[in-house]
Structure 1
Amino acid sequence: MRKLQWGMIGGGEGSQIGPAHRLGAGLDGLFEFTAGALDHRPEEGIGYGRSLGLGDRAYGSWQDMLAGEKAQDNPIDLVTVATPNSTHFEITKAFLEGGFHVLCEKPMTMTVEEGEEIVKIARTTGKICAVNYGYSGYSLVRHMKAMIARGDLGKIRLVNAEFAHGHHADAADAENPRVRWRYDPAQAGVSAQFADCGIHALHMASFVTGQDVTKLSADTVSCIDVRVLEDDAMVNFRMDGGAVGRLWTSSIAIGRQHGLGIQVFGEKGGLRWSQEHPNQLYYMPLGERLQIIERGEANLSPEADRTSRVTIGHAEGMPLAFANIYADLAEAIRARKENRSIDPAADLYPRAEDGLRSMAAVFAVAQSGKEDGLWCDARPPMFR
């Protein structure tokens, strides 16, 4: 079976996210890295791309890459956009309209209006537009989703999600350029910590429950006074299936490292999972003893089995979770090429619609935080 061809924009030398994408895309042998515009500096981008084996398909800009790939007899099947946030909309729009499937890093856009436009373009062109909420690729997160969908917990009552770390807690580091931009509205938009980390936790809540957020109330604060945007937020939300939600996100929680976790409580039981300990899912059926579900054990769901690669007891980390998103996309692209239905266990990659809902939530949190926790509609206008 011929590998699908994959390209990347951004993620150049020294990038934090670039290696994770290259590992994830190449892990299962489904994609071949064949094209890239890896740096906003043309010469550096071309040089680094060639060092990775891209040859004359190492481009100096995304515009050159778009034109070059459209002219190829065998162009890329998928492009990943891993550039600064403010460029996501322009690049994603151009490649969708150019006839390419796209995986965009989050946030998909900087405004709700841009998000709605991307959703419409993806629907009109028929091209896949996925958003990299990569933590939804973990095997036991998918098993959690499957357990909830088949009714193991009964009706879902409460979701508690967190994404809290302490890596921006030092006030003396507030003027560090690598930190400062995150809290600058001119560069980050209307939200800092919630837009950076909180939306991962919110997407996780929707992903595992199958419910979308309809309204929310937020308490946002800048614990370090010189920051304009929030470094801590507590968000209460309601979901369209009746679940109540609580979400805490922070960058000043000293002692917390990564801090992404989720708990779901239903009529018949509860589930708990943490990204720092991804091999265990804790399940408490009503009136019974606590059970620990191990990644890789027998008799899990097809969704979990499909996304587990190494034997039980060995850790699988973030690049493998990313690889599961890429495996989903490879199956979706091949299904379209072969005019067949996608494997249901693979039909789990986050869509443009998810990116749009996240951006609507970001603006709702910002509005609510300014208005002392006013309950705000968290839905984008096109979904109301």
Structure 2
Amino acid sequence: MKRLNWGMIGGGKGSQIGPAHRMGAQADGNFALAAGALDHDAERGKAYAAELGVAPDRAYGDWREMLEKEQARENRVDLVTVATPNSTHFEITKAFLQAGFNVLCEKPMTMQVDEAEEIVAIASSTGKICAVNYCYSAYPMVREMRQMVARGDIGKVRVIVVNFSHGHHGDAADADNPRVRWRYDPQIAGVSGQFADCGIHAMHLASFVSGDQVRELSADFASAIPSRALEDDAMVNFRMEGGTVGRLWTSSVAIGRQHGFDIQVFGETGGLKWWAEQPNQVYYTPVGGRTQIIEKGEGGLSGEAARLSRVAIAHPEGFPMAVANIYVDLAAAIRGEPHGAFPTAEDGLRSMAAVHQAVASARQAGAWVDARPPSLR
């Protein structure tokens, strides 16, 4: 099987997300890093690309140079990953989609709803893939939960409780640390802090597992550290198209919690629970029965969960391999082969609409608002 050519923008040396993408994209032999514009400092980016084995003529000083020169190549990249600061996602993703490239964009896909609407339209008109890296949806046991819900194992879903809360920004003395401060600066982060950073992962997972979409929401935002212009704690109640009730908590000041991402799905005939710190297990409780632990790698799992499990039972795979599973599905889609569900530009659009509507709700003391983007109402 010939490897696909892969290009990366951002994610340079010292990046938090860059290594996960490089490990993930190349883990299964589907992609080879062929081109990159890895740093806002051109020379530093070129030097790091060389360290990673990128040929000198495909180590670019910036994304515009990469776009211009890759367009002219016969062996142009098959997929471009955008792992730059949030405010640049729209411009770069739009340019590469319009030029006929497939794109995987880090979340959030855009900063504004109208920008996200434009990306969806461009992806549709060009026929190119635009995916968004909601990678928690690619853990094998999350895929198992999705299959269990779709099969009706727990009946109609009544309630979803999901949270993504940690305490790593809970020290007020650390509030001016540049690596922390930007997340609460409207000039850089946009209209929302914690909900846009972590909460949309949780909301996306609720939709992904349930197979349903959020229709309306009510939000309460708080800046527990008063110097922050944007929220560091949020509670969002939501209702889905199919009638499911949702409760979402997200926080960066929950001292004592580490990653703190979990989801519980309660149906008419059973309940399910998964959490990121124990990603190999799904807890399943049938109504009137005992709680069972379903393990990654055991017999009898759905084909979707088994397909994305690489190592034997009881061996953890972790976050980089969840990212790798996104690339597995993207490679199959690019080749025109069968693949699982991966987050698309429409998911990015729904997330951005939810962010802006949650902000609007919080400003109106939790008033219920339509969470859907204009084009999907």
TM-score norm. by structure 2 comes to 0.99
Consecutive unaligned residues of structure 2, counting only runs of 5 or more, are none
What's 1:291 paired with?
292
Shift of 1:222: 0.3
Q: 1:329-352 CA distances to partner (integer Å, 9 max, x unpaired)?
A: 0000001xxxxxx42xx2311000
Matches of 1:290 and 1:179 in 2, distance apart? 40
Does 2:47 match 1:47? yes
State the secondary structure of the residue aligned to 2:250. Answer: strand
Q: In structure 1, what residue type is equivalent to 2:101? A: F
Shift of 1:85: 0.2
Q: 1:292-335 CA distances to partner (integer Å, 9 max, x unpaired)?
A: 00000011001101110000011110000000000000000001
What's 2:176 paired with?
175
Q: In structure 1, what residue type is equivalent to 2:7? A: G
Higher deviation after alignment, 314-323 or 173-182 = 173-182
Consecutive unaligned residues of structure 1, counting only runs of 5 or more, are 336-341
Q: 1:75-110 CA distances to partner (integer Å, 9 max, x unpaired)?
A: 110000000000000000000001100000000000
What's 1:278 paired with?
279
Contact map agreement 2:79 2:101 (CA 8 A) in 1: yes
Matches of 1:266 and 1:4 in 2, distance apart? 42
Matches of 2:76 and 2:179 in 1, distance apart? 36
Equivalent residue in structure 1 for 2:358, among 337, 340, 365: 365
Matches of 1:211 and 1:265 in 2, distance apart? 14
What's 1:315 paired with?
316
What's 1:165 paired with?
166
What's 1:90 paired with?
91
Contact map agreement 2:113 2:352 (CA 8 A) in 1: yes
Contact map agreement 2:304 2:340 (CA 8 A) in 1: no
Shift of 1:201: 0.3
What are the equivalent positions in structure 2 for 1:26-65 lying under 5 Å apart? Answer: 26-55=26-55, 56-65=57-66
State the secondary structure of the residue aligned to 1:35. Answer: strand
Q: In structure 1, what residue type is equivalent to 2:214? A: V
Shift of 1:63: 0.4
CA RMSD of aligned residues (A): 0.6
What's 2:19 paired with?
19
What are the equivalent positions in structure 2 for 1:334-373 lying under 5 Å apart? Answer: 334-335=335-336, 342-343=337-338, 346-373=339-366
Identity of aligned residues (%): 67
Matches of 2:59 and 2:217 in 1, distance apart? 44
State the secondary structure of the residue aligned to 1:237. Answer: strand
Q: In structure 1, what residue type is equivalent to 2:233? A: D
Q: 1:207-254 CA distances to partner (integer Å, 9 max, x unpaired)?
A: 000000010000110000111110000000000111000000000000
State the secondary structure of the residue aligned to 1:278. Answer: coil
Q: In structure 1, what residue type is equivalent to 2:37? A: A
Does 2:20 match 1:5? no
TM-score norm. by structure 1 comes to 0.97
